[in-house]
Amino acid sequence: MLDMLTWLPENVSTFGEGIDEAFAFIYWVSVGIFFLINIIYITFIIKYRRRKRSERAYYTHGNNLLEFAWTALPFVLFAGIGIYSDQIWRDIKYAELQPNPDVTVEVMGQQYMWHFRYAGSDGVFGHREMKFISSTNPFGIDPSDPNGKDDVTLINQMNVPINKHIQVKLSSMDVIHSYFLPNMRIKQDAVPGTWVDVWFNVDKTGTYEIACAELCGDGHYLMRAELNAQSQEEYDTWINQQYEMKLASLADPNADTAEGTQQDTTQTASNDVAGGE
Amino acid sequence: MDAAVASHKVNGDSHGHDHAHGHHESFITKYIFSTDHKMIAKQFMVLSLFFLFVGGAFALFIRWQLAYPGQPIPLIGDFLPSQWMDANGAVSPGFYTQLLTMHGTIMIFAVIVPLMVGLFGNFCIPLMIGTYDMAFPKLNMLSFWLFPLSGVFLMSGFFMEGGMAASGWTAYPPLSAVASMGQTLWIVGLFFAGFSSITGAVNYVTTVLNMRTKSMKLFQMPMTVWAVFITAIIVLIGTPVLAAALSMLFMDNFLHSSFFLPENLIVNTRDMSRTAGGGQALLWQHLFWFYSHPAVYIMILPGMGVVSDVISTFSRKPLYGYKAMVFAIMAIAFLGIIVWGHHMFQSGMNPLLGTTFMLSTIIIAVPSAIKTFNWLGTMWRGRMEFHTPMLHAVAFVSMFVIGGLSGIFMASTPVDVYIHDTYFIVGHIHYVLFGGSLFAIFAGITYWYPKMYGRIMNERIGKWHFWVTFVSFNLTFFPMHILGVGGMMRRIYDPNVYDFLKPFQPMNEFISIAAFVMGFAQLIFVFNFIYSLKKGKKAKRNPWRANTLEWQAPSPPPHGNFDKELIVYRGPYEYSSPESVQDYLPQNLSPEELREAWQVHDERQKQEEKEFTV
C-alpha cells in the first residue's frame, strides 16, 4: 500500500534498473522523512494546543547548535543523494562512457508521428543535411549520396534486437517532441536543428510503446509508436526483409516505394486509433 | 482585567497625532485609480481571485476530459461554442491544449504571483514597517493597472481565429513560434505582466530600504516583509530576462525572425518561406527558465513569510531561529537563480550540465529543511490557537514538506529521465503552488482580513472551507504522483491511446471527482469573504494579539495608515516574553509604557490578594 513503486511499468532494460534503484532509494528516504516530520508535527499540534488562557508558551529564540545540526545533516544527506544519482546519470547519458553501439537507429519526430531510419544493406547511413529535409525526405538524406539510396525508413515502428546496446540519434523536423520509452525508462527531447544521442538496451522480447512526452500540438496524444524487441535471429530476418523490400523498390521505380507503402499503412492505422477513441 | 488596561495602553488609542490625510476622495480616485497601497492591494486581490476561478474552471474542463474522455460536458456543454467541441459535444483536442495552456498561465501569472507579490507586498510592507504608503504611489497604481491590461491580452485569444495560446504555459518554440494569433497576444500579455512585476518590485525594494519607521532595523522586520523584499530582488533580476525572451519570441512569431527557429522547419501551420532559420530552440528554454524557475520562488517565498508570521502569532511563541529563517530565504533566493537548468535535463543540453544543475538544485533542499525545522521549533512548547489562518498555515508546512520531497525526485537526474513530463511533476507543482502558495494565501487573507475590512471572517465557515479544501486537495493531487510513477505523460488529451495507461482510467476519474469537490469548495471562501464584509464580527485594532506594527493602525487603516508615531524597540516576535505583562509585546511598546503596565498589573494583584485574605 505504501509502496508506490509497484505502479511502475515493467522494466526491461539495464539502465532502467539503475533508474528504478535510485527511484526506490529516494522514495524510501522521502517516506522516512515525511513520517518523521509529520509525527513530530502532529504530536506538537496535539500536545501544544492552548488549553488555558493564562498559560504561556516557552520563551526562546532558538538554538544555534540545533540550527547547525539541521543545516549540516540535510546537507550531507542531500549531497549524498546527488552524488549517488550522478553515477547513474553518467552511465546513461555521458557519450564517452557508452560502449560501441550494436545497432544505430535515427529517429525523427514529426507532428504527430515518429520516423525511424536504419542504415541500408551496405551498413552505412547516407549523408544527411538539414537543408534537404522535406515532407517526403524527413531525414534530409542527400539525394546525391549513393549510400543513402538503400537506407530503410519506417513510420511509427522500430525494431531492435534484445541484449544489444542500441544507439538512437534523435531529432525533429518541426517542433520539439520527446522520445519516451516507459519500459526502458528512457526519455529524451527531440529538438529541431539538433541531433541528440540516446542509448538503451532491451532485455526481454516483446512489443513496447513509444510515446511523445513533450507537448507538440493538438495531436500530441496520438504520437504513439511501437518498439518490437526481437531475438537477434528474428531481428536479422526482419532487417534483411527490409533491405530486400527497399532494393526491390529501387529496382522498380514505378512501383510504390517501400517507404511510401509503409507510410500509408501506418498512417491509416494511427488514424483508426484516433477515430476509435 | 489587567489585560484590558494594558491593551488600552498597547493599542494606544490616543488621538494625539493624526497622520491620516483627511482629504475627500471621489469614487474614481478611491476605488479605481487609487494610489493608496491598501486599495491597490485589494484591487490585486479581487482581480486575482476572479482569475483564480477562471483558471480553476479551465482545470475542471481538463479534469472532465481526463475522467470521461470524449463524453459531452454536462449542463454547460450545449452552451459552449462549437469550434471548441468535437462532434459529441466533448472538449476537442485543440481546445484541450488551449485550456491546459491558459490554466497554467492564468494560475501562475494572474493568480499566484499577483496575490503573493501584489497583495501581500502592497498591503503588508507599508503597514508592517510603520509608514504611510509606498515610496512611489503612482508607480504602484501603474503596477496594478498593467495587470488587467495583461489579463485582457492573455484572454483575448478567445475571440481570435485559432483560439487562445496552445503551447503550454512554458511556450516552447518552435511550437509557440509558429502558432496562431492567440499565442502572439499571450506573449504581449505576459510582457505586461512582467512589466507590472518590475514596477511593483522597484517600489517594494525602495520602500523597505528607505521608509521603515524610526529606529526599525532590517533585522526587526517581520518575515513577510523580508520575504517580499527578497522576492522583489529576484523579480528585478529575473523579469528583464523574461522580457527579452518574450520580445524575441514575439519577433519570431510576428516578424519572421529566427531567434529560436533552426533552418528548414517543416510545419503546415504557417508559411516558413520568409523565415531564414539558424536559431536555436533551446535558447528559449534557458532564458525562460532563468526567469521562471526563480518565479517558483517568487510564488512561494512571500507565502513562507506569511506563514512564519501566522505560526508565530498563533503559537504565542517567538519565531524559532529568526535570523536563520532570514538567511534561509536569502539562500533559497540565491540558489533559485542558479538552478534553472533542472527543467532541461532531458532537453538535449550537454549532460554535464545535468550534473552541475542537479547538485545546485538538490542543495536547495537544505534551506528548505531549515525553514521546516524552524517552523516546527516555533510550535514546540508553544500555546497554539487554531483559528482559520493558523489552520491554513499549518497545512502549508505539511504540504510544503510533500512538495519539497517530491521535488528531490525530479532533481535527481536519473529519476528525472523517467518522471520528467509525467503527472509526477504535475502532482509536485500543485503541492508547491496549491498546497504551498494557495494555502499561504488563504492564511494571509484570513489573517489580515480584519485589518483590511475591520471585521473578522466567519470562523465556522472558514474552518469548513479549510477542511473541505484540505481533504479534497490531497485526494486530487496525491494520486497524480502515482499516475506519474505509472508513466502518464502530462498534457495528453486522452491517455487511453496508450495501452500502458489504460489501467489508470479509474484513478483519473477519482482524481476528477475530488477536483470538482475542491473547485466548488472555493465558493465557500467567496461566500465567507462577502458575507463577512457585512456580517463579520467587528475587529478591534489587534484582534489576534500580535506584535507587528500593522496591528497598531485602526482597522481598517485610513489613507495614511497610522494615527500615532511609531518607534520600534524590539523584534517582531516577542510572544510570551517574561518582560511583558501579557503573552505578547508589540514592537513599538515603549519601556515606559511597559513599566506602567507592570505597575497596573502589580497593583491589581495586590488588590486581589487583599480581597482574598479578607
**Cell numbers 529563517 correspond to what residue?**
B325
In the predicted model, what is the mean pLDDT of residues B157-163? 83
* Mutation site, B418, B478, B488, interface A, largest A CB count within 10 A: B418
Query: What pLDDT shows up at residue B552?
Result: 94
Q: What is the CATH number of domain B35-563?
A: 1.20.210.10
Instruction: List A residues 65-84 in contact with B (Cβ-Cβ < 8 A).
Output: 66-67, 70-71, 74-75, 78-79, 81-82
Contact between residue B561 and residue B521 where contact means Cβ atoms under 8 Å apart: no
Mean pLDDT, range A143-154, rounded to an integer: 89
Q: Is the pLDDT of residue A131 over 90?
A: no
Mean pLDDT (whole number) for A126-136: 89
Give me the pLDDT at residue A50, please: 87
Contact state of B414 with A19 under an 8 Å Cβ cutoff: yes
Q: Which of residues 221-240 of A touch B (CB under 8 A)?
A: 221-222, 224
- Is A67 in Cβ contact with B418 (below 8 Å)? no
For residues B252-288, one letter each, b for 16 or more C-beta atoms within 10 angstroms of the residue's C-beta and e for the rest, the string is bbeebbbbbbbbbbbbeeeebeebeeebbbbebbbbb
What does the DSSP 8-state code read for residue B199? H
pLDDT value at residue B506: 95
Residue with cell 532595523: B217
Identify the sign of the CA torsion A199, A201, A205, A206: negative
Task: For Cα atoms B121, B125, B127, give the angle at the middle one, nearest 5 degrees.
Answer: 130
Average pLDDT, chain B: 91
Q: How confident is the model at residue B43 (pLDDT cuts 50, 70, 90)?
A: very high
Cβ–Cβ under 8 Å, residues B452 and B123 = yes
Mean pLDDT, residues B594-601 taken together? 92
Cβ neighbours around A121 below 10 Å, total: 16
Distance CA B23, CA B400 (A): 45
- Say if residue B2's pLDDT is above 60: no
Mutation target among A76, A89, A212 for the B interface, most CBs of B within 10 A: A89
Q: What ranges do the domains of chain B cover?
A: 1-17+564-614, 35-563
User: What is the per-residue pLDDT for B254?
Assistant: 87
Contact residues on chain A for B372, CB-CB shorter than 8 A: 37
Res. B614 pLDDT band, cuts 50 70 90: low
Q: Are B406 and A23 in contact (CB under 8 A)?
A: no
What ipTM, to 2 d.p.?
0.90
**Nearest CA to CA, how far is A33 from chain B (Å)?**
8
pLDDT 10s digits, A32-59: 999 999 999 999 999 999 888 778 889 9
- Residue A259: pLDDT band (50, 70, 90) is very low
Average pLDDT value for residue range B427-451:
95
* Averaged pLDDT for residues B175-186: 91
Q: What is the pLDDT of residues A160-196, one digit of tens each?
A: 999 999 999 999 999 999 999 999 999 999 999 999 9
> Does A134 sit within 8 Å of B412, measured CB to CB?
no
Q: What is the 3-state secondary structure (H, E, C) of chain A?
A: CCCHHHHCCCCCCHHHHHHHHHHHHHHHHHHHHHHHHHHHHHHHHHHCECCCCCCCCCCCCCCHHHHHHHHHHHHHHHHHHHHHHHHHHHHHHCHHHCCCCCEEEEEEEECCEEEEEECCCCCCCCCECHHHCECCECCCECCCCHHHCCCEEEECEEEEECCCCEEEEEEECCCCEEEEEHHHCEEEEECECCCEEEEECCCCCEEEEEEECCCCCCCHHHCCEEEEEECHHHHHHHHHHHHHHHHHHHHCCCCCCHHHHHHHHHHHHHHHHHHHC
Residues of chain A contacting B355 with CB distance shorter than 8 Å: 86, 89-90
Q: Which of A50, A70, A214 sits opposite B383 (nearest CB)?
A: A50
pLDDT (0 to 100) of residue B612: 73
Mean pLDDT computed over B398-415: 94
User: In this predicted structure, which of B76-85, B126-135, B323-332, B405-414 has the lowest mean pLDDT?
Assistant: B76-85
B16 has a pLDDT exceeding 50? no
Chain A: closest CA distance from residue B432 (Å): 15
The domains of chain A are located at: 10-48+61-96, 101-276
A218 reaches B (C-beta below 8 A): yes
Asked if B491 has any chain A CB less than 8 Å from its own CB, the reply is yes
pLDDT at residue B119 greater than cutoff 80: yes
CB contacts of B351 in chain A (<8 Å) are 89-90, 93-95
Q: Do A89 and B414 touch (CB under 8 A)?
A: yes
pLDDT in tens, B210-255: 999 988 999 999 999 999 999 999 999 999 999 999 999 999 988 8
B358 close to B411: Cβ distance less than 8 angstroms: yes
Mutate to test the interface with A, among B413, B502, B505 (most CBs of A within 10 A): B413
Tell whether the model's pLDDT for residue B23 goes beyond 70. Answer: no
Burial of B159 (0-12, 13-18, 19+ CB in 10 A): exposed
The reply to whether A101-276 shares the fold of A10-48+61-96 is no
- CATH 3.20.20.140, applies to A10-48+61-96: no
Answer yes or no: is pLDDT of B286 > 90.
Answer: yes
Class of the domain covering A101-276: mainly beta
pLDDT number for residue B45: 96
pLDDT at A267 over 60: no
Q: How confident is the model at residue A253 (pLDDT cuts 50, 70, 90)?
A: low
Instruction: Give the percent of chain B with pLDDT over 90.
Output: 80
Q: Given the C-alpha cell 508615531, which residue does it identify?
A: B565
pLDDT higher than 70, residue A26 = yes
User: pTM value?
Assistant: 0.91
Chain-chain contact of A48 with B420 (C-beta, under 8 angstroms): no
pLDDT at A262: 45
Q: Does B379 touch chain A (CB under 8 A)?
A: yes
Q: Is B349 on the interface with A (CB under 8 A)?
A: no
